[in-house]
Amino acid sequence: MTTTTAPRTDSADAPRREADSAGGATLNVFSHAFLVLWVVLAAGPLVWVALTALRPSVEILSDPMGWPTSFHWENFTHAWTTANIGQYAINSLIILAGSLTGTMLLGSMAAYVIARFTFPGNRLIFMLFAGGMMFPVILALVPLFAVMENFGLLDTRPGLMIAYIAYSLPFTVFFLTSFFRTLPTGVQEAAMVDGASHTRTFFQIMLPMAKPGLVSIGIFNFLGQWNQYLLPLLLNNEEESRYVLPQGLASLAVSQGYRGDWGALFAGLTIAMLPVLVVYAVFQRQVQAGLTAGALK
Amino acid sequence: MSEAGRSGVKTDTRVDDSPPSKKAQDRAGGRKSPNRLLFLLAVLLPPRFTPESVRYDRRYRTLDKYRFIAGFLSLPLAFYALFVISPFIQAIYYSFTDWSGGPVANFIGFDNFTKMWNDERFWDSLEVSVTLAIVAPLITLVLGMFFAYMITSGGRHRKGRAIAGVAGSSFYKVVYFFPQVLSVAIIAVVWGRVFNTNSGLINGGLDKLGIDGPAWLGGDRGLALIAVMAVLSWSFVGFYVVLFSAAMGAIPKDIYEAALLDGAGRGRTFFSVTLPLIFDTVRTGWIYMGIQALDSFAIVLVMVPEHVLKVTPVFLYERFRDGQYGYATSIGVVLLVLSMAFSLIVMRIGNRDRIEY
């Protein structure tokens, strides 16, 4: 019977155990070595970008591996003003303010109705939303361009926001529907009995109860929309002053090559990456949970 | 605060006069029903102006419910139908036309597809895309599983337990996940600099070792393909480490203890215990990664100069820029068929009884 706890107790076969744990120790060193190696590979390029952002452009070209000798903060001011990173960041923020609010509001409204009410077509509407996750966006690319043009929404901010909202809805509705289904029905009924309208029950009772789900999907959509590249490339390509951050950096990578101002490009990349990484570091658990939930749809 | 207070007051009054209100309802049911005009009015007005006689009628309840459902669903459904569903359906229709952006789109049958069949540029791009879809998931999933297993079981002997995570496991997961929170466009720009021939990180490092690094993205298809594959795998490994270590963490400890008692080493434990138990997650991850690779667009568009290498989505985008809208949508349809075929094949490969634990 002692065998069941053998790995935990120091029993008669101590020599064997010792050898075993010595082997385990070497393996541990190995596994740590591999794990650390990937830390270097995963973070290395990003750290390199941040360090290089502090060096003058001439040095970057002659010795890409060098350390910053003196801090060239002017790279950052160049990036922010001459290379327009500031403008791009503001554009991104404006778009995100509208699109994220819209996505969360419309997504939770649709999900609540689908999850908590029985009506003809309920199942069909749910399948319609859920099915949208299976299709690659690139398939809709060309017709979407034409639809936006017909509505006069091409190269406008509302147009881009609407596109973000529409393409975020499938997963948002899918995720929140299953979340609303898990909430207890009693509270909703109690609110109705107390005379609260459907709308009021939703905004004052159900939404606060759904907060954990809203946070997860909110972070998912925040990152997805902040990082969006394909939709702005298609729908917001007319004016350079209207570019969002990823778009701006991609075009900067080309134009800074002509100007030879590599320092500003690296500084721009740092400005774009740092806030997202900080937000991620703070909310790491929710971010990891939210983003991996996307794969298990 | 005041809202809550008011609702509280309301609640009290309603509870107090609930018997009369019930009576009112009975009256409404037994007597003549409130007239239609009142109903119509109640539907159009905000709920607080609903006349008393209508409010407690059962039909009003139903009406109120459907009004609410319609109100909440109309805007999301309208956005979704107009900007997602309709473009998808249009895409399939336009793939059989010679549409070039104007109002005229003539039905031309399968001409776009035969044109594609004879288009060498399409086959070149497809070759790259399919290679990516086959190789990238392999590399990414193997690395992801390896690191996830190291993280969840690397501390096995340290704590004298059958299974234990390494020290700092959450730190590893946080750093590995970095690329997932960044925009693909930014990743592409960063790696474009890393792979740069003269001032890149890789060739700079090789230079320090006395090796003259190649022009990674400068013209050689094979090298560029390796670069794209590396970036794609790099950005997704962390995702799979998190996914797989969550799945591995859900496996009960006693199964590992039993394996250890039977004398299974770490490798044996992985292949005979861990892998079969997380197989569903692995298969889902495989499909997801394959589709990601097939759809990879921004990385190639931003990182690789266009004369060197193209993937099919980039080829599609260029046809769209040329104004060959019909042809571009037909390429999209082929991509859709390919990704569906890929999912079906992987589902078939791994189809087996699920192990419950």
Shortest CA gap A13–chain B (Å): 13
pLDDT of residue B160: 57
Measured between beta carbons, the chain A residues lying within 8 angstroms of B73 are 109-110, 113-114, 125
Helix B221-249, helix B169-176: angle, nearest 10: 140
Strand partners, B97: B107
Give yes or no for residue A73 having a pLDDT over 70.
Answer: yes
The reply to whether residue B190 touches residue A46, judged by beta carbons under 8 angstroms, is: yes
Give yes or no for residue A100 having a pLDDT over 90.
Answer: yes
The reply to whether residue B162 touches residue A245, judged by beta carbons under 8 angstroms, is: no
Measured between beta carbons, the chain A residues lying within 8 angstroms of B162 are 7
* CB atoms inside a 10 Å sphere around CB B220: 15
> Which of A191-195, A275-279, B291-295 is the least confident region?
A191-195
- What is the percent of chain B where pLDDT is above 90? 12
The answer to whether the CB of A239 falls within 8 A of the CB of A155 is yes
Residue with tokens 């239609």: B36
> What pTM was computed for the model?
0.81
pLDDT of residue B141: 92
Contacts of B248 (CB under 8 A, 6+ apart): B148, B149, B152, B153, B274, B278
* Measured distance CA(B281)–CA(B73) in Å, rounded: 33
Give yes or no for residue B58 having a pLDDT over 60.
Answer: yes
pLDDT of residue B142: 93
The reply to whether residue A139 touches residue B332, judged by beta carbons under 8 angstroms, is: yes
The reply to whether residue B302 touches residue A250, judged by beta carbons under 8 angstroms, is: yes
- What is the percent of chain A where pLDDT is above 70? 87
Measured between beta carbons, the chain B residues lying within 8 angstroms of A276 are 181-182
The answer to whether the CB of A225 falls within 8 A of the CB of A169 is no
> What's the gap between Cα A84 and its chain centre?
23
pLDDT of residue A13: 40
**pLDDT by residue (tens digit) across B225-282?**
999 999 999 999 988 998 888 888 888 888 888 888 888 777 888 888 888 888 888 8
Q: Which own/partner contact pairs does B54-59 have at CB distance under 8 Å and 24+ positions apart?
A: B56/B21, B56/B24, B56/B25, B56/B28, B57/B25, B57/B28, B57/B29, B57/B33, B58/B29, B59/B33
Q: What is the DSSP string of chain A?
A: -GGGGTTTS--TTHHHHHHHHHHHHHHHHHHHHHHHHHHHHHHHHHHHHHHHTTS-HHHHHH-TTPPPSS--THHHHHHHTTT-HHHHHHHHHHHHHHHHHHHHHHHHHHHHHHHH---TTHHHHHHHHHHGGGS-HHHHHHHHHHHHHHTT-TTSHHHHHHHHHHHHHHHHHHHHHHHHHHS-HHHHHHHHHTT--HHHIIIIIIHHHTHHHHHHHHHHHHHHHHT--HHHHHHS-S-GGG--HHHHHHHHHHHHHHHT-HHHHHHHHHHHHHHHHHHHHHTHHHHHHHHHHTTT-
Measured between beta carbons, the chain A residues lying within 8 angstroms of B170 are 284
**pLDDT by residue (tens digit) across A233-259?**
988 888 888 899 999 888 888 876 666
pLDDT of residue B350: 63
For B76, the closest chain A residue by CA position comes to: A106
Mean pLDDT (whole number) for A60-69: 72
**pLDDT by residue (tens digit) across A169-196?**
998 999 899 888 888 888 888 888 887 7
Strand partners, B107: B97
The reply to whether residue A125 touches residue B184, judged by beta carbons under 8 angstroms, is: no
Please give the residue that has the higher pLDDT: either B115 or A103: A103
Give yes or no for residue A10 having a pLDDT over 70.
Answer: no
Closest Cβ opposite residue B243 in set A136, A287, A292: A292
* Distance in angstroms between the alpha carbons of the first and the last residue of chain B: 48
Measured between beta carbons, the chain B residues lying within 8 angstroms of A283 are none
User: Which residue blocks in chain B are alpha helix, DSSP H?
Assistant: 2-16, 18-30, 36-44, 52-55, 58-80, 86-94, 111-117, 120-153, 169-176, 184-194, 201-208, 221-249, 253-261, 266-269, 275-277, 279-294, 298-303, 312-322, 325-349
Contacts of B161 (CB under 8 A, 6+ apart): A7, A8, B253
Highest mean pLDDT, choosing among A56-70, B129-143, B298-312: B129-143
pLDDT of residue B77: 92
pLDDT of residue B43: 67
Give yes or no for residue B30 having a pLDDT over 70.
Answer: no
Q: Which of A142, A148, A162, A292 is the best substitution to test chain B (most B C-beta atoms within 10 A)?
A: A142
Measured between beta carbons, the chain A residues lying within 8 angstroms of B71 are 199
Q: Which of B12, B18, B189, B303 is the best substitution to test chain A (most A C-beta atoms within 10 A)?
A: B189
Contacts of B224 (CB under 8 A, 6+ apart): B216, B217, B304, B308, B309
**pLDDT by residue (tens digit) across B40-53?**
676 666 666 666 66
Give yes or no for residue A17 having a pLDDT over 50.
Answer: no
Closest Cβ opposite residue A230 in set B47, B284, B297: B297
pLDDT of residue A53: 80
The reply to whether residue A42 touches residue B237, judged by beta carbons under 8 angstroms, is: yes
* Measured distance CA(B134)–CA(B233) in Å, rounded: 12
Mean pLDDT (whole number) for B352-357: 62
For B209, the closest chain A residue by CA position comes to: A65
* Measured distance CA(B226)–CA(B215) in Å, rounded: 12
**pLDDT by residue (tens digit) across A199-232?**
888 888 888 888 888 888 888 888 889 989 989 9
> Which of A37-46, A189-198, B15-24 is the least confident region?
B15-24
Between CA A37 and CA A43, with CA A40 as vertex, the angle to 5 degrees is: 145
Highest mean pLDDT, choosing among A43-57, A160-174, A184-198, B214-228: A160-174
Average pLDDT score, chain A: 81
Closest Cβ opposite residue A194 in set B11, B90, B172: B11
**pLDDT by residue (tens digit) across B105-156?**
778 888 888 888 988 888 988 998 999 989 999 999 999 998 888 888 766 5
The reply to whether residue B79 touches residue A166, judged by beta carbons under 8 angstroms, is: yes
Mean pLDDT (whole number) for B148-167: 68
Mean pLDDT (whole number) for B88-106: 84
Measured between beta carbons, the chain B residues lying within 8 angstroms of A225 are none
Highest mean pLDDT, choosing among A81-85, A157-161, B171-175: A157-161
pLDDT of residue B7: 40
For B185, the closest chain A residue by CA position comes to: A246
Shortest CA gap B30–chain A (Å): 22
The reply to whether residue A276 touches residue B182, judged by beta carbons under 8 angstroms, is: yes
